Amino acid sequence: MMYGATNGNGNGGPTRHMEKARQAYYENNVSASIEAHKSHAAEEGHRTLGDSIKSVVYGGLDGVLTCFAIISGAAGGNLGPSTVLILGVSNIVADAFSMGVGDCVSTIAYHEHVMQERKREVWEFDNFEDGEITEMVDLYEQRGLPRDKAQVVVKTMAKYKEFFIDIMMCEELQLKVPGPDENPYKDGVVTFFSFLIFGTMPLLGYLIVPLVVPDVSSSVLFITAVIVTMLVLFILGSFKSAFSASSWWYSGLEFLLLGSAVASTSYGIAMIVEELAHDFFQNPK
């Protein structure tokens, strides 16, 4: 891989065509991989959407499972459709804000921790450079690099202070220094909307079906919610597979099974609680 040159967008970084390289990897095509390394990409060397995949999947999965847990719990407790809508909408909106803020705040806290550790590493490098170099040499030697080779590598990197500090953060502390494009506020917004959009999907049946069939039963509405939820989970899992090595059907099935387990647990607990509550109020001691 060639570094230091500019990619097709004029930015510093790898010159290989990332999309072609990924495709070659998925197809196990060595020739295509070689061509990808020789070609220049017209776009940046990463997928912009991929930067937000964690927030999309995290918020979407939590949203749809939270909403369906409310629906299945209400169904297990024999609550009416109007109650399901009230509980569902109020919880989804409130939880969406909570998830968005939580994602943003937790990311900010993590970045602050990383940067504080980086400041410490800078201070140690400025005051005892030889000690930091020795640490890295010892680390590379432990990983199998001969000590004389490790000394050459580390001393070369140490000539470039900022680069060396960032490498130390990754190698010694297992911490990745946040890049200039990482935005916790954007992640929070993505999580909020992902939770809100996917979280409202299981409620669509309760909103749309009664308009078409006025006298629809609660059981039909619940079955509709089950079908919609399972479909959304499969689609969400398939979407995740576009940014991993998993096949779309395997990833979709994984999310589907996870959602089924959560829904079944919620429904079962609600039935047990409803039965216990009924017996308690009918025969209070």
pLDDT (0 to 100) of residue 168 = 94
Higher pLDDT, 227 or 18: 227
The angle formed by the CA atoms of residues 245, 100 and 247, to the nearest 5 degrees, is 15
- Domain regions of the chain by residue span: 50-282
- pLDDT beyond 90 at 119: yes
| Distance, CA of 241 to CA of 63 (rounded, Å) | 19
pLDDT (0 to 100) of residue 51 = 61
What's phi and psi for 111, nearest 5 deg?
Answer: -60, -40
pLDDT (0 to 100) of residue 4 = 38
pLDDT (0 to 100) of residue 43 = 45
- pLDDT beyond 50 at 140: yes
| Distance, CA of 225 to CA of 65 (rounded, Å) | 12
Least confident of 29-33, 35-39, 45-49, 80-84: 45-49
| Distance, CA of 237 to CA of 246 (rounded, Å) | 10
Q: Classify 12 as helix, strand or coil.
A: strand
Cβ neighbourhood burial of 283 (10 Å; 0-12, 13-18, 19+): exposed
Share of the chain above pLDDT 70, in %: 86
Confidence band, pLDDT 50/70/90 cuts, at residue 248 = confident
- pLDDT beyond 60 at 246: yes
Confidence band, pLDDT 50/70/90 cuts, at residue 285 = low
Q: DSSP code of 201? A: G
Average pLDDT score over the chain: 83
Least confident of 2-11, 192-201, 220-229: 2-11
CB-CB contact of 165 with 154 (8 Å): no
Higher pLDDT, 167 or 275: 167
Question: Among 204, 199, 254, which residue's Cα sits nearest to residue 69?
Answer: 199
Structure-derived torsion over alpha carbons of residues 271, 276, 279, 280, reported in degrees to the nearest 10? -140
Cα torsion angle, 161, 164, 168, 169, sign: positive
Please state the rounded mean pLDDT for residues 61-76.
Answer: 85
Please state the rounded mean pLDDT for residues 260-271.
Answer: 77
Least confident of 68-72, 146-150, 274-278: 274-278
Instruction: Cite the DSSP H helix spans in 80-202.
Output: 81-127, 129-142, 147-158, 161-173, 184-200
Please state the rounded mean pLDDT for residues 27-39.
Answer: 79
What's phi and psi for 6, nearest 5 deg?
Answer: -105, 150
Please state the rounded mean pLDDT for residues 57-69.
Answer: 88
Confidence band, pLDDT 50/70/90 cuts, at residue 137 = very high
CB-CB contact of 135 with 124 (8 Å): no
- pLDDT beyond 50 at 8: no
